[in-house]
């Protein structure tokens, strides 16, 4: 019989506070700490065996590897998801790069350098974001409240937890954007492409969806969000 002994301690995350507009925080994320102990042993009648047949040893190693991966991801699925994102850029001008945008790729989300706008503040920005290509941009924790983002291209952007209160997205291309847990209260999506975008747990009170372009399956998922008011539901065609 094979025994798997695992001792895991969850990681702790601390996100910086941002008080200066368009500036990086000098705060650092806490050091990640995940001591992991995994012990696999072959026993018989409660005692450790000193010899293991090669085929059973190989099988044991494979089994232990699979169970170890399962244990790490099941104990902290958020950690596993966060590891997909690159570290926060150290470029001092990373927030200003939004005013230039991605010069290649556009709707394909291809870029020569990651567009890292996480935790940047563009509140009430009325001129420098219009029509820009922000494809595949990392926007978690960023603020775009009251910004004019008409005609922007944000294909494949990652905007989980970002704030877009009152943002104007008219005539924009926002396909395949992850708006999970984003604050979109009062945002305007007039004639906006939203195909493939997701809004899980997003705040959608008083959002204007007039003439929004969205697929049927995506619409069904969007209509599940209970924060959408009756007028917006009628505009979308939610049943």
Q: What are the pLDDT digits (tens) for 128-162?
A: 999 999 999 999 999 999 999 999 999 999 999 99
4: nearest Cα among 37, 35, 48? 37
Same domain, 239 and 128: yes
Q: Is 3 helix (H, G, I), strand (E, B) or coil?
A: strand
Same domain, 65 and 103: no
Same domain, 102 and 188: yes
Same domain, 90 and 202: yes
Number of neighbours of residue 105 by Cβ within 10 angstroms? 16
Same domain, 30 and 119: no
Which among 50, 82, 114 is the end of a domain?
82
Same domain, 30 and 120: no
Its domain, for residue 31, covers: 2-82
Number of neighbours of residue 207 by Cβ within 10 angstroms? 25
Same domain, 101 and 183: yes
Same domain, 94 and 40: no
**How many domains are contained in the chain?**
2
Mean pLDDT for the chain overall: 75
Number of H helices, E strands in the chain: 4, 3
pTM of the model: 0.65
Which among 30, 51, 82 is the end of a domain?
82
Same domain, 26 and 108: no
Give the whole-angstrom CA distance, residue 194 versus residue 207: 13
Sole residue written with tokens 């998922």: 221
Same domain, 129 and 61: no
193/42: higher pLDDT: 193
Which among 82, 113, 147 is the end of a domain?
82
- pLDDT for 108 equals 61
Same domain, 134 and 64: no
Number of neighbours of residue 228 by Cβ within 10 angstroms? 22
Angle at 55 between CA 52 and CA 56, to 5 degrees: 50
Q: Which long-range contacts (CB under 8 A, 24 or more apart) does 76-82 make?
A: 76/8, 76/10, 76/11, 79/10, 79/11, 79/34, 82/13
Same domain, 140 and 216: yes
- pLDDT for 44 equals 43
């Amino acid at each position: 019989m094979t025994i798997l002994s695992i001792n895991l301690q969850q990681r702790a995350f601390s996100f910086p506070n941002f008080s200066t507009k368009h500036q990086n925080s000098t705060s650092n994320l806490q050091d990640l700490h995940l001591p992991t102990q995994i012990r696999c042993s072959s026993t018989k009648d409660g005692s450790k065996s000193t010899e293991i047949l090669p085929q059973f040893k190989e099988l044991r190693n494979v089994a232990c590897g699979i169970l170890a991966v399962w244990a790490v991801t099941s104990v902290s699925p958020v950690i596993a998801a966060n590891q997909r994102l690159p570290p926060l850029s150290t470029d001092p001008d990373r927030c200003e790069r939004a005013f230039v945008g991605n010069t290649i790729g556009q709707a394909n989300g291809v870029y020569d350098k990651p567009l890292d706008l996480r935790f940047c503040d563009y509140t009430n920005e009325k001129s420098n974001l219009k029509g820009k290509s922000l494809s595949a941009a990392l926007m978690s924790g960023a603020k775009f409240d009251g910004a004019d983002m008409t005609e922007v291209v944000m294909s494949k952007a990652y905007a989980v937890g970002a704030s877009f209160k009152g943002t104007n997205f008219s005539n924009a291309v926002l396909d395949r954007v992850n708006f999970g847990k984003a604050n979109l209260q009062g945002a305007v999506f007039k004639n906006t492409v939203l195909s493939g975008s997701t809004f899980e747990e997003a705040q959608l009170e008083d959002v204007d969806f007039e003439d929004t372009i969205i697929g049927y399956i995506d619409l069904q998922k969007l209509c599940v969000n209970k924060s959408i008011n009756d007028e917006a539901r009628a505009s979308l065609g939610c049943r």
